[in-house]
Amino acid sequence: MNDTPPTDRFNEEKSTYTVRGSDKPDLDAGIAAIRNVLKTLPVRPGVYRMQDARGEVLYVGKARALKNRVTNYTQVSRLPKRLQRMVAQTRGMTIVTTNTEAEALLLEAQLIKRFRPPYNVLLRDDKSFPFILLREDHEFPRVQLHRGARRAKGQYFGPFAGAGAVRKTLTAIQKLFLLRSCTDSFFANRTRPCLLHQIKRCSAPCVDRISTDDYAELVRDAEDYLSGRSTKMQQKLGVQMQAAAEAMDFELAAVLRDRLRALTFIQGSQSINAEGVADADVFALHAKGGVMCIQAFFIRGGQNWGHRSFFPAHTAEVPEDEVLTSFLVQFYEEVPPARLILLDRDLSEAALLAEALADRAGRKVELKRPQRGEQRRLLAQASRNAEEALDRHLAESTTQGKLLGEIANLFELGEPPGRIEVYDNSHIMGTNMVGAMIVAGPEGFRKSAYRKFNIKRPETAPGDDFAMMREVLERRFARLEKEDPDRNSGEWPDLLLIDGGKGQVAAVCAVLQEAGVEDVPVVGISKGPDRNAGREHFHLPDGRESMLPPNSPVLFFLQRLRDEAHRFAIGTHRAKRAKNFTASPLDEVPGIGPARKRALLMHFGTARAVRGAALEDLERAPGVSKAVARTIYDHFHPRG
């Protein structure tokens, strides 16, 4: 993935045209703004951004010839209604020129991800893709799950559809190759094997139960397995088992037999048989009821690494060919493309897309619509999964919409809420205090919108739940008022659900009143007298309380919201507490990074020993210069 900011790689030229008093949609004003920009547009590749009167991005598009492409927006009779509405809101444009159309396609994906424009097809997915990382920065490499930027030195295998697929594969690797999964600090401090060695999932290199060369051979075997060369592994294990049996080493032969059985079982347990397909990503699109679903299968080394369903946003009135093309460009912003991409339809810009993906990957990428054979069978399975996933999604959306309508009736809202924000706090005896916000709407939980709040105001007394809730809400609405005073972003809540009773509701209402927010409904949810689930009381700001029947679907839905906020708050609190447990006085010394901190601890044994060391002892530590030694010494021995 290229993380270079677009403006650092391309020549950006901003062209704007404004009409006073024309903030409201006005087709003539929009056409005039576009024609004003056309006067300076070159006939060369690039990307254009349509903007409204406030400068908010409405649409990002790419073109082989900017002048020709943008001219089309002035011929409104040929545009679909969706783009006519966009032109009516347009008051300015930003132009970025590129060297090729493929570069423009890649830049378009970057800008869509950055600005999330309302008229572009959006890849709506809250989860990053996990990989398996086989680290190479240690004498005994560690195998682990990895998300995010790939900065650590090692080999990355993926993408996997989800963490579950990764953990299943990691378990297989532990059983087959006995590679360690522990952290370096845990490894360095072991004096005897851990439980994983006892259950035959680790070779215990931490206590020298295996030599460096033998462990390196296991690592190579794991690489073969993850690269799809499992047949080679089977043959090797079979030969080794036979040799051990002939040498009368029956204990080793039994271990090798168990590994061979595990490998055979894992190969046979693939839910998708990808025989004959080495490395490929498979995509199929299905549309129904104005909603589209794209199903993706990930095949690596002939193994199924999972599948995932996507439901792109803003697809109304957009051709399926265009939706799939836009989806693929945005999808491969996150993950490296496979050498072969199988599609269930021909794309009008397939050659351009293949060129852009090859440019990003640094190797050839082939887009193909197979007509027969194993590849066609895989694609048919993806199509069937797309149809089934869309049916489930529509059924769930219908149920969700009905529940939101009943919530609107229950709490006397004007219409079903499109955004519900649920708040909760977590702490232990006033320590590591955090607040948490989760968001739900017609599409379910919106995990990308979740927020955590470290309680940091000195006036917030430890353990004061009312004060914690007050701080969280004040910070939340102060930011909303600053970033979106006109409430155009869709980030303002339609309902606040508070985990608490009358006191919490009163505290929240006071915060909203001070902020001048009078139209956001607030509801508190508290357990009954015996704190039994199913007897929840709902508290309104005017003092009214209500209960729902224990078998009410609305009650179950509201409980799910409350429990999700509770889960997120506790998880945030635990992460903060764990970080504080592992904090070291060395973290506060300026200029001491992880590598130097590790070297100091290895040399002195403990942070307390570093703190009490003489200046001369610090200077003799490996990797510590005289200047750094003086910095460390002065930090722990400040001069009066």
pLDDT tens sequence across 486-535: 777 778 899 999 988 888 888 889 888 888 888 889 999 987 665 556 67
10 Å CB burial of residue 475 (0-12, 13-18, 19+) is middle
Residues 380 and 425 in one domain: no
Question: Which of left, alpha, beta for 248 (phi over 0: left; psi -120 to 50: alpha)?
Answer: left
- Domain end point (choices 246, 268, 290): 268
The CA distance from 283 to 382, in Å, is 7
Q: Decide if 398 is inside a domain.
A: no
Q: Decide if 504 is inside a domain.
A: yes
Instruction: State the residue range of the domain holding 248.
Output: 131-268
355 vs 240, higher pLDDT: 355
The reported pLDDT for the residue numbered 221 is 84
Residue 12 has pLDDT above 70, yes or no: no
The CA distance from 272 to 311, in Å, is 22
Q: Residue 600 in 3-state DSSP?
A: helix
Could you tell me the pLDDT band of residue 279, with boundaries at 50, 70 and 90? confident
Q: Decide if 62 is inside a domain.
A: yes
pLDDT tens sequence across 319-351: 999 999 999 999 998 788 889 999 999 999 999
Averaged pLDDT for residues 574-586: 64
Residues 139 and 220 in one domain: yes
- Domain end point (choices 569, 598, 622): 569
Residues 539 and 426 in one domain: yes
- Select from 547, 510, 544, 515 the least CA-distant residue to 529: 547
Question: Which of left, alpha, beta for 62 (phi over 0: left; psi -120 to 50: alpha)?
Answer: beta
Residue with tokens 């493929």: 102
Q: Decide if 403 is inside a domain.
A: no
Q: Whole-prediction pTM value? A: 0.68
Q: What's the CATH number where 525 sits?
A: 3.30.420.340
The CA distance from 100 to 64, in Å, is 8
pLDDT tens sequence across 132-151: 899 888 889 999 988 877 78
Residues 36 and 152 in one domain: no
Residue 576 has pLDDT above 80, yes or no: no
Q: How many domains does the chain have?
A: 5
Q: Decide if 311 is inside a domain.
A: yes
Q: What's the CATH number where 327 sits?
A: 3.30.420
Residues 6+ apart with CB under 8 A from 38: 67, 70, 71, 74
Residues 224 and 314 in one domain: no
Residues 90 and 149 in one domain: no
